[in-house]
């Protein structure tokens, strides 16, 4: 019988991505379940949807560790009338604990932007928007292994990240310095410009923001889910490194609500 508990798993994630560093509007941490509940298998995921809970049930997992939290707003009833309510009800009924590591993971030097920088081979990286003592913060800026033309850069990023299309604006002779902010990073375009990056990889950039920013920097909007799909691997690797003889699996499905037709 496993002596791993929800609290043990939560503490491992928290030690790498401290909940205390999350933004005030965020809801990272243990969302459903008791710290003393036993855990035999964890499913790591980007989102917690009904399909993801179903996959956890099918795989015999009794805990989900995900990037995007639930319950950003207070819930006044649980009657199954929204997807979020159904997820929570099913998790409670089936004894599945839910944990989310969101902005604390985004801002970690071992978090989402850092991993994306690694995936595209950025070198000499530093934090794009440092906060606190400078050891954490949103985004990363660094140098590509070699300078490339804009079209080659787009193809390179698509291949490395594994996304089918990118929304691009702006132009440059060559791209060598690249800023990254995974997820919704449109508010940091000016920080990317200030960092002397030739291109800024992020997601959820609006039409007018792309048009306006395109005069100063190449914007590569790779998609929100695509930019954070590696979180299931991040949590998987973290747990694998800390607990041996313990089952864990990665979400096999695509939880991206956006389809490219
Ligand atoms: Zn996100």
Q: Please tell me whether residues 211 and 183 are part of one structural domain.
A: yes
In a domain, 1, yes or no: no
Task: Quote the pLDDT of residue 251.
Answer: 77
Distance 46 CA to ligand 1 centre (A): 8
Distance 69 CA to ligand 1 centre (A): 9
- Tell me how far apart the alpha carbons of residues 238 and 14 are, in angstroms, rounded to a whole number: 11
In a domain, 159, yes or no: yes
Q: Please tell me whether residues 118 and 101 are part of one structural domain.
A: no
- pLDDT band at 252; cut points 50, 70, 90: confident
Backbone φ and ψ for 41, nearest 5 degrees, come out as: -155, 135
The alpha carbon torsion through 74, 82, 55, 13 (nearest 10 deg) reads -10
Residue 132 confidence (pLDDT) above 90:
no
Do β-strands 123-131 and 63-66 pair in parallel, antiparallel, or remain unpaired?
unpaired
| For range 189-202, the mean pLDDT | 97
- Alpha helix segments (H runs only) across 67-171: 83-93, 103-106, 112-119, 150-161
Residue-wise pLDDT tens digits, 6-35:
999 999 999 999 999 999 999 999 999 999
Task: Quote the pLDDT of residue 248.
Answer: 73
Angle at 16 (CA atoms; ends 156, 93), nearest 5 degrees: 100
- 76-115 burial by CB neighbour count: b if 16+ within 10 A, else e? eeeeeeeebbbbbebbeeeebbbbbbbbbbbbbeebbbbb
Average confidence score pLDDT of the chain: 94
Q: Please tell me whether residues 114 and 216 are part of one structural domain.
A: yes
Distance 3 CA to ligand 1 centre (A): 32
**248 or 123, which is more confident:** 123
Q: Please tell me whether residues 26 and 122 are part of one structural domain.
A: no
Q: Please tell me whether residues 39 and 74 are part of one structural domain.
A: yes
Distance 153 CA to ligand 1 centre (A): 23
In a domain, 257, yes or no: no
Task: Quote the pLDDT of residue 255.
Answer: 84
Q: Please tell me whether residues 40 and 96 are part of one structural domain.
A: yes
In a domain, 34, yes or no: yes
| For range 228-244, the mean pLDDT | 92
Distance 245 CA to ligand 1 centre (A): 31
In a domain, 259, yes or no: no
Task: Quote the pLDDT of residue 257.
Answer: 86
In a domain, 256, yes or no: no
Task: Quote the pLDDT of residue 28.
Answer: 98
Q: Please tell me whether residues 201 and 217 are part of one structural domain.
A: yes
Residue 244 confidence (pLDDT) above 60:
yes
Distance 100 CA to ligand 1 centre (A): 11
Distance 165 CA to ligand 1 centre (A): 18
- Tell me how far apart the alpha carbons of residues 10 and 80 are, in angstroms, rounded to a whole number: 27
Q: Please tell me whether residues 241 and 181 are part of one structural domain.
A: no
Distance 105 CA to ligand 1 centre (A): 10
Distance 235 CA to ligand 1 centre (A): 15
Distance 184 CA to ligand 1 centre (A): 7
Task: Quote the pLDDT of residue 145.
Answer: 95
Q: Which structural domain range is residue 158 located in?
A: 107-221
Distance 61 CA to ligand 1 centre (A): 23
Distance 2 CA to ligand 1 centre (A): 32
Task: Quote the pLDDT of residue 2.
Answer: 64
CATH number of residue 200's parent domain = 3.40.1390.30
Report yes or no: 227 and 142 within 8 Å, Cβ to Cβ. no
Residue-wise pLDDT tens digits, 154-195:
999 999 999 989 999 999 999 999 999 999 999 999 999 999
Residue 1 confidence (pLDDT) above 70:
no
Q: Please tell me whether residues 203 and 126 are part of one structural domain.
A: yes
- Tell me how far apart the alpha carbons of residues 234 and 91 are, in angstroms, rounded to a whole number: 23
Q: Please tell me whether residues 79 and 168 are part of one structural domain.
A: no
Closest CA to 54 of 5, 94, 100, 101: 94
**How many domains, in total, are found in the chain?**
2
Q: Please tell me whether residues 217 and 235 are part of one structural domain.
A: no
Residue-wise pLDDT tens digits, 90-131:
999 999 999 999 999 999 999 999 999 999 999 999 999 999
Distance 130 CA to ligand 1 centre (A): 19
Distance 202 CA to ligand 1 centre (A): 11
In a domain, 258, yes or no: no
Distance 183 CA to ligand 1 centre (A): 4
Distance 152 CA to ligand 1 centre (A): 26
**244 or 123, which is more confident:** 123
In a domain, 144, yes or no: yes
Residue 245 confidence (pLDDT) above 70:
no
């Amino acid at each position: 019988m496993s002596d791993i508990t929800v609290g043990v798993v939560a503490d491992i994630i928290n030690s790498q991505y401290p909940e205390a560093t999350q933004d005030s509007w965020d809801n990272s941490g243990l969302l459903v379940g008791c710290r003393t509940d036993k855990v035999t298998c964890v499913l790591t995921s980007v989102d917690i949807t009904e399909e993801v809970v179903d996959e956890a049930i099918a795989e015999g997992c009794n805990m989900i560790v995900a990037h995007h939290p639930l319950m950003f707003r207070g819930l006044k009833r649980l009657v199954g009338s929204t997807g979020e309510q159904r997820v929570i009800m099913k998790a409670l009924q089936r004894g599945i604990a839910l944990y989310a590591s969101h902005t604390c993971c985004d801002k970690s030097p071992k978090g989402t932007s850092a991993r994306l920088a690694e995936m595209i081979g950025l070198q000499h990286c530093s934090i794009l928007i440092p906060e606190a003592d400078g050891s954490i913060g949103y985004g990363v800026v660094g140098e590509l292994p070699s300078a490339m033309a804009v079209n080659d850069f787009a193809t390179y990023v698509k291949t490395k990240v594994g996304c089918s299309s990118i929304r691009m604006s702006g132009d440059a002779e060559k791209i060598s310095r690249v800023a990254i902010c995974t997820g919704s990073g449109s508010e940091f375009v000016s920080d990317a410009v200030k960092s002397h990056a030739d291109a800024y990889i992020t997601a959820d950039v609006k039409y007018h923001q792309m048009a306006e920013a395109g005069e100063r920097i190449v914007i590569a909007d790779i998609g929100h889910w695509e930019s954070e799909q590696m979180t299931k691997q991040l949590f998987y690797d973290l747990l694998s490194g800390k607990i041996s003889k313990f089952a864990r699996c990665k979400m096999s499905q695509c939880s991206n609500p956006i389809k490219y037709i």
